[in-house]
Chains A and B, each alone.
Chain A
Amino acid sequence: MPLAFIVWITIQTGWDTMVELVFRRRVGELLANTLLLVLLTLPLSILVAVTLAWLTERSDLPGRRFWAWLAVAPLAVPAFVHSYAWVTVAPGLHGLAAAVLVSVLAYSPFLYLPVAAQLRRLDPTMEDVAASLGHGPWRVFLTVVLPQLRLAVCGGSLLIGLHLLAEYGLYVMIQFDTFTTAIVDQFQSAYNGPAANMLAGVLVLLCMGLMGGEVLLRGQERYARVGSGAARRAAPAELGRATLPCLLIPLLFAALSLGVPLLTLGRWLSIGGSRIWQGADIGGAILQTVGLALAGGLLTTLAAAPMAWLSVRAPGRLQRVLEACHYYVGSLPGVVVALALVTITVRVALPLYQTVGTVLLAYLLLFLPRALVGLRASLAQAPVELERAAMALGRTPLQAVRQITFRLAAPGAAASMAMVALGITNELTATLMLAPSGTRTLATEFWSLTSEIDYAGAAPYAVMMVAASLPMTILLHIQSKRAAGR
């Protein structure tokens, strides 16, 4: 739908205006900025993630499990809270280098998770065989281990890339212009429809380019373990004298990615004292956030249910394509979705403009994949055989679905609803652009306070957002362990 919207807007705007709007220096700068950001952040993130994953999964580093948790933990800190912390620590921090630094710290867990899971899943016998064929440890890593991490690296990189393109708060705070920040600026300052829309069009193209690139790089290969038999657990590499320097790597990462935000928050909280916790502001923001989050979670889960049902119970080619569409919508930047909804409501259904309904619709589009993943898994817990067994015992089909399938799928559905709700809690861009005036969520309140340079006042909101992100982070970590069969 957003894609159709872009096409439609282009036609409306007219070819000449579009050319004029797209091919100008400002767009060139933004394009260069965004591309540089992606091209610098991705390799660095891959390096950081693979190093950390190897250390925590394959070496005898002391406290490996602890470091594994710390490597995932930065996910609990929303990206714009990361940059808020860094701006506090080093007020002079801005521009490309700062953007890359904060992006790597905030997003490399997205790569760490799949890479670590894949490392755990790899059959160590393959490395043994390579060694018996005369390859030293380094060459074994480069020729056998690294190529098999390709899928994990591709998937994680795509996720990070999409985040880099979509993130707004992080880059505004450190004064780095990307397409997303420019679109929001454009929208807020001039409410200049066509200009913002054209930028959004370029952004969508970038996203699609990223996804296409990932498909190309991933290729058609199957990297599953060939053959059967129980895979042994790999013997951890002995670090020996390198232990101490190796210990410094996760320590440094944790200090930068967790220490800085936590210390900053702690400092602001202590400076602010009890003042910042008082007033109806916080209570109101919490109430509104919870309300929006629950409504959005429920709506999104309901919307995802038919697709989840189809893809589990009647898998087929058409269903796969449909499902892929759901995922693609979810990978579009929030700003594009918001812009599309604004334009549509203004032109077609003005009464809906800036209502809670529009915000919820945006949440639905943005968080559909999350709900879908959770629902699919929970529906798969309730195999159709159980329903048939219930019907053989005299239940009508509806009764069987209600008594068996709903029961079994309910915990998973609740979990996916919670995940969506937590995502909504920390959503900034779409909420800023779409919410009716007077709406105050944790994220928007944090945002408006930091815009007024009231960093101390913003700290409580940040803390609450971190707390809201923790369950998701923990779940992701546990899931990746379970996916690897441990």
Chain B
Amino acid sequence: MSFLQVQGLGKRYGDAVALEDVDLSVHAGSRTAIVGRSGSGKTTLLRIVAGFESADSGRILLDGRPLVDGPGVVPAHRRGIGYVPQDGALFPHLSIADNIGFGLERGDAGRRSRILELLDAVELDPQMLERRPHELSGGQQQRVALARALARKPALMLLDEPFSALDTGLRDSLRRTVARVLCEAGIATILVTHDQAEALSFADQVAVMREGRLTQVGSPQELYRRPRDRETAAFLGDAIILPADVDNGWASCSLGRLAVTAGSRRGAAEIMLRPEQLRLVVDDRDTAPNVAEGAAEGWGRVIDVEFGGSVCKVAVALGNVPGQRNPLLLRHSSLDLPRIGSRVRIHVEGEAHLFDTPLR
């Protein structure tokens, strides 16, 4: 039984469609990430769930209770849903303690201890309580914003790109803290982000949003390995997409003969590989390498090397396909980088992914 159910949600701004027929379910205590480019409608969806905006059509149920059902809408302040916005939106006129305690009753005897408890949960120093928001760093502000949203023990927490304004290192540590705190509290969470790496590492369930629609929903592994189409594949990480001839569970392409995931289709199709499935081996023999018929292997010549620290990029023009326009972009460890012009073999590991959608 899912905890939050979104059914057939639609929203327009004038002529522009913001959301169209969105269905989503979130299990109790789970973490969901909605990922999409800016303007894809993901924030609108979050704001409708929070109750800050109204939907044109559709229903939202929280724990069986309707929040949005046609004209019947529960206002935001009666939903008991926590919300952390992009920049924290701490109240600048209140101290940190008052910010965190904003949702708690003023005269409550346990207020102070609850504030301290929350501050501790988000790993902040109690000395900060009397400070003002502008005296805190960006990461600290986000921690306070999280503590403030946790104060009322919401059943559902909505995070609207809360890490996007932070530096990379800070972002990772804060994301881990947030995941841990929410997991310990057993609060179902929806994270909205445009950062696919963040979505994949944070969530149990990832939903990809494009032009107001959820194009695919599933576990991070499933989405990464088996995206439905080219756009989703490219959005979730670097993808190598090759034309292939598919027959009976095998695809023949410029990288040899590869096993494919879904086996029923035949004929011309596109397959996808992730760069980490390809391995480069320098092979500087004068003659063209003799690739065994049916091996999962191709060969080519290095035309460009881009040093990038631990992981470098190597561009390879495939040798056995004269018509190949774009060179393959492969990752390679910065140790024993091939030189430009050297001949390489490319081994493929694992299965190639065959797109469901027909070839365009």
Interface size class of A (residues with CB under 8 A): 20 to 34
The minimal Cβ–Cβ distance linking B190 to chain A, given in whole angstroms, is 13
Distance of A126 from chain B, by nearest CB (Å): 5
Query: Could you tell me if B77 and A227 are in contact, using CB atoms closer than 8 angstroms?
Result: no
Interface residues of A in 227-269 (CB under 8 A from B): 227-229, 235
Please name all residues of chain B whose beta carbon is closer than 8 Å to the beta carbon of A135 when the two chains form the complex.
77, 102-103
- Contact for A129 among B51, B53, B83, B138, CB less than 8 A: B83
Whether a CB of chain A sits under 8 angstroms from the CB of B227 is: no
Q: Is B348 an interface residue (CB 8 A)?
A: no
Could you tell me the distance in whole angstroms from the C-beta of B357 to the nearest C-beta in chain A? 35
Chain B residue nearest in CB terms to A123: B89
Q: Given the known A-B contacts A133-B152, A134-B103, are A224 and B92 also in contact in the complex, defined by CB atoms under 8 Å?
A: yes
Interface pick from A71-79, A144-152, A195-203, A339-347: A144-152
- Among B53, B77, B86, B138, point to the contact of A134 (Cβ < 8 A): B77
Nearest A-chain residue to B165, judged by Cβ? A228
Taking a contact as CB atoms under 8 Å apart, the answer to whether A132 and B81 are in contact is: yes
Q: Given the known A-B contacts A125-B87, A226-B87, are A132 and B92 also in contact in the complex, defined by CB atoms under 8 Å?
A: no
B191 at the interface (CB under 8 A from A): no
> Which residues from 76 to 95 on chain B have a C-beta closer than 8 Å to any C-beta of chain A?
76-83, 85-94
Partner of A225, one of B92, B149, B164: B92
* Interface of chain B, main secondary structure: loop
Q: Mark B301-323, 1 if CB is under 8 A from A, else 0.
A: 00000000000000000000000
Contact B83 A132 (CB under 8 A): yes
Write the A439-457 contact mask toward B (1 if CB under 8 angstroms, else 0).
Answer: 0000000000000000000
A225→B82 CA distance, assembly (Å): 21
A136, CB-defined interface residue at 8 Å: yes
Determine whether B50 belongs to the interface, using a CB cutoff of 8 Å to chain A: yes
- Once A131-B52, A131-B75, A133-B102 are accepted as A-B contacts, the answer to whether A222 and B92 lie under 8 Å apart by CB is yes
Which of A128, A147, A148, A225 is close to B76, meaning CB atoms less than 8 Å apart? Answer: A128
Q: Is the CB of B93 within 8 A of A221?
A: yes
Given A229-B87, A235-B53: A136 and B77 interface contact (C-beta under 8 Å): yes
Which A121-168 residues sit within 8 Å CB-CB of chain B?
A: 123, 125-126, 128-137, 140, 143-144, 147-148, 150
Is B196 located at the chain interface by the 8 A CB criterion?
no
On whether the beta carbons of A133 and B52 are closer than 8 Å, the reply is: no
Q: Which of A134, A222, A227 has the most CB of B within 10 A?
A: A227
Query: Does the CB pair A129–B133 fall under 8 Å?
Result: no
Please give, as numbers and ranges, the residues of chain B lying within 8 Å of A123 by CB-CB distance.
89
Within 8 A of B (CB), among A413-440: none
B305 to chain A, nearest CB (A): 37
Q: A131-B52, A132-B79, A133-B149 are in contact. Are A125 and B89 (CB under 8 A)?
A: yes
Interfacial chain B residues near A144, Cβ < 8 Å: 91
Assess the A226–B133 pair: CB atoms within 8 A: yes
A235 partner residues in chain B, CB cutoff 8 A: 52-53
Cβ of B132 under 8 Å from chain A = yes
Which residues 116-138 of B sit at the A interface, judged by CB distance below 8 A? 132-134, 138
Give Cα distance in the complex from A223 to B92, angstroms: 6
Task: Tell me if B92 and A148 are in contact (CB < 8 A).
Answer: yes
Contacts of B91 in A (CB 8 A): 126, 130, 144, 147
The residue from A128, A132, A226 contacting B88, defined by CB atoms under 8 A apart: A226
Q: Quick check: B52 and A227 within 8 Å, CB to CB?
A: no
B76 A227 Cβ-Cβ under 8 A: no
- The CA-CA distance from A150 to B151 in the complex, in Å, is 27
Min Cβ gap A421→B in Å is 40
Instruction: Tell me whether B138 and A227 are in contact (CB under 8 A).
Output: yes
Quick one: which of B53, B133, B134, B149 contacts A132, CB cutoff 8 A? Answer: B149
B252 within 8 A of A: no
* A132, B76: Cβ atoms closer than 8 Å: yes
The verdict on A126 contacting B89 (CB below 8 Å), with A134-B152, A226-B141, A229-B165 known, is yes
B148 CB within 8 Å of chain A: yes
Provide the bound-state CA to CA distance between A235 and B80, in Å: 21
Decide if B50 touches A128 in the complex (CB within 8 Å). Answer: yes
> Once the chains are docked, how many angstroms separate the CA of A446 from the CA of B102?
56
A residues within 8 A CB of B81?
132
Q: Please, which residues of chain A bring their CB within 8 A of the CB of B141?
A: 226-227
Residue B77 contacts which of A132, A147, A223 (CB distance < 8 angstroms)? A132
Are A128 and B83 touching (Cβ within 8 A)?
Answer: yes
Alpha-carbon distance between A125 and B164 when the two chains are bound, in angstroms: 16
Find out whether the CB atom of A147 lies under 8 angstroms from the CB atom of B93: yes
Q: How far is the CA of A19 from the CA of B159 in the complex (A)?
A: 67
CB distance from A429 to the nearest CB of B (A): 39
| Cβ < 8 Å to A, chain B residues 23-81 | 47, 50-53, 75-81
Taking A128-B89, A147-B93, A148-B93 as given, write out 7 further A-B residue pairs in contact, using a Cβ cutoff of 8 Å, ordered by the A residue number: A123-B89, A126-B91, A128-B85, A129-B148, A130-B102, A135-B102, A225-B92
8 tightest CB-CB pairs across the interface, nearest first? A227-B87, A133-B103, A131-B76, A132-B83, A125-B89, A229-B87, A147-B93, A125-B85
16 cross-chain CB contacts under 8 A: A128-B89, A132-B149, A132-B154, A133-B103, A133-B149, A133-B151, A135-B102, A136-B75, A222-B92, A223-B93, A224-B92, A226-B92, A227-B89, A227-B138, A228-B165, A229-B164
User: Which positions in B face A, CB cutoff 8 Å?
Assistant: 47, 50-53, 75-83, 85-94, 102-103, 132-134, 138, 141, 145, 148-149, 151-152, 154, 158, 164-165
